[in-house]
Structure 1
Amino acid sequence: MPTSRAPLSTRRVLQAALSLADSGGTDALTMRHLGRHLGVEAMSLYRHVANKDAVLDGILDMVVSEIDLPERPGDWKAAMRHRGVAAFRVFSLHPWAPPLLMSRTNTGPSMLRYIDFTLGALRGAGFSWRLADYAWNTMDSYVYGYTLRRLAFPIAPADYAETASAHQHLLAGDRYPHMAELTRQVAEGHHPGDPDITFGLDLILDGLERLRDTEPTDLTPP
């Protein structure tokens, strides 16, 4: 149903666009559909947003603004873990966002704050500019990928044991002994079957710490 005809503004247009993207993905987000949702002609939208690309950039920045960042980095590993978990939770609410973030140049204020916080925390922890840049991109690649996998995976974590039990007959005999044993472990509740996002984050952070400690000293200002 169209919304009431309150005065249009850039923020109102973007909020409506975010709602449409969350409910139907960005493929369903056309200027005509957005105008219909707001109860106006599509041409009226161009007084507030330049085009669909501007809409996509705007709603991406709105999503990134929802990511909770620590007030002060403090312990860099704890800050990066917090950042990664917070991003995963936000992206899980907006599943269309990770693919778009990976395919666009994002220069909105929230994205710039997100990146600047990350670089500042890493530089403050003694990372060179080169390694800080690699670290930021590696962490984000993992968070995006983990989020997409969790959203697309056909089995809910609560159903892993039951599903594993139902598939045990496929692994009878000696052909797949390692898969058979892992499936038994999950079916009998000895192993949960899927790692929390912090498992991979901690592996990355521990590896980055080792690289930092062997990196030549970077004397440029933090």
Structure 2
Amino acid sequence: MTRLNRDRVLRAAVALADESGIESLSMRRLAQELDVVPMALYKHVANKEQLLDGMVDAVVGGIDPPVPGPDWRGVARQRILSARRVLSRHRWAYRVIESRTGPTPAVLEYVDSMIGVFRDGGFSVDLTHHVMHAMGSRLLGFSQELFDDSGSGSAGPPDPALAARYPRIAELAAAAAHDAESVVGGGCDDQFEFEFALDLLLDGFERLRVQGWSPPARSAGA
């Protein structure tokens, strides 16, 4: 029998969440998967919250390291898309990351290295600060969408009453559902939409960097 250790516990927990969903994860269920008594797990993780922290670090630790180079934009883009690929393999991970009361060590290391990408690329501390705010969760490869239109390609025409009340929403929904010649095809392609927004942000950051942007001075009463 393979000896139980923290790494094995975390790998088993990640596999269980991947297969059955994060809701199915419990210390008892995990112990069954590992063929041990539940108390054996507590030698390696103090409680479920520590288990979830470790799972986050195990996933985030799989993101490709930054590839050094003079093109900060290419370095940042490659790293963020690597994060998206990793988190896409573990669909539960972004919700667990958001549920943490504070960033875990691997997340802190990732964020620190991304700050380094911008700073080494010639960004001021002030601009880097605002860039990090603008990126938000997109830095880790996921974003919160205003609407979930993932099923719009097969949803059929919008309800006439709703279309009359919200004509601009109906117009966009119809275009996404029926424009078969578009780059994204029928409905919205999550990866295309993510990269589209990411490229807009990175291009905008570069313009500000070249301009030597700095935040406006605050008035005394602000």
TM-score (norm 1): 0.76
| Shift, 1:90, TM fit | 1.3
2:31 to 31, 35, 54: 35
Q: Would you say the 8 A contact 1:85–1:197 is kept in 2?
A: no
Q: Which amino acid aligns with 2:107?
A: M
Alignment partners' CA distance in 2, 1:182 and 1:46 = 50
| Shift, 1:167, TM fit | 1.7
Identical amino acids, percent of aligned pairs: 36
For 1:22, the equivalent position in structure 2 comes to 18
For 1:220, the equivalent position in structure 2 comes to none
Distance verdict in 2 for CA 1:86–1:153, change over 3 Å: farther
Q: Which amino acid aligns with 2:49?
A: D
Alignment partners' CA distance in 2, 1:185 and 1:17 = 38
For 2:67, the equivalent position in structure 1 comes to 71
| Shift, 1:183, TM fit | 2.2
Alignment of 1:83-102 (within 5 A): 83-102=79-98
Distance verdict in 2 for CA 1:184–1:33, change over 3 Å: closer
1:131 to 127, 131, 139: 127
Q: Which amino acid aligns with 2:178?
A: A
The answer to whether residue 41 in structure 2 is matched with residue 58 in structure 1 is: no
* Number of residue pairs the alignment of both structures matches: 205
Give 4+ residue runs of structure 1 displaced > 4 Å after superposition.
Answer: 143-149, 168-171
For 2:218, the equivalent position in structure 1 comes to none
1:199 to 196, 199, 216: 196
For 1:106, the equivalent position in structure 2 comes to 103
Alignment partners' CA distance in 2, 1:153 and 1:55 = 33
Q: Would you say the 8 A contact 1:88–1:147 is kept in 2?
A: no
| Shift, 1:146, TM fit | 4.5
Alignment partners' CA distance in 1, 2:85 and 2:43 = 34
2:180 to 189, 198, 206: 189
Alignment root-mean-square deviation, CA: 3.2
- Structure that is richer in helix per residue: 1
Q: Would you say the 8 A contact 2:56–2:97 is kept in 1?
A: yes
Distance verdict in 2 for CA 1:12–1:185, change over 3 Å: closer
Q: Which amino acid aligns with 2:157?
A: H
| Shift, 1:121, TM fit | 0.9
| Shift, 1:181, TM fit | 7.6
Runs of 5+ in structure 1 lacking a partner?
218-222
Q: Which moved more, 1:64-73 or 1:114-123?
A: 64-73
| Shift, 1:11, TM fit | 0.7
Alignment of 1:134-213 (within 5 A): 134-142=130-138, 146=142, 154-155=150-151, 160=153, 163=154, 166-167=156-157, 170=160, 176=167, 179-180=170-171, 183=174, 186-191=177-182, 192=184, 193-194=187-188, 195-212=192-209, 213=211
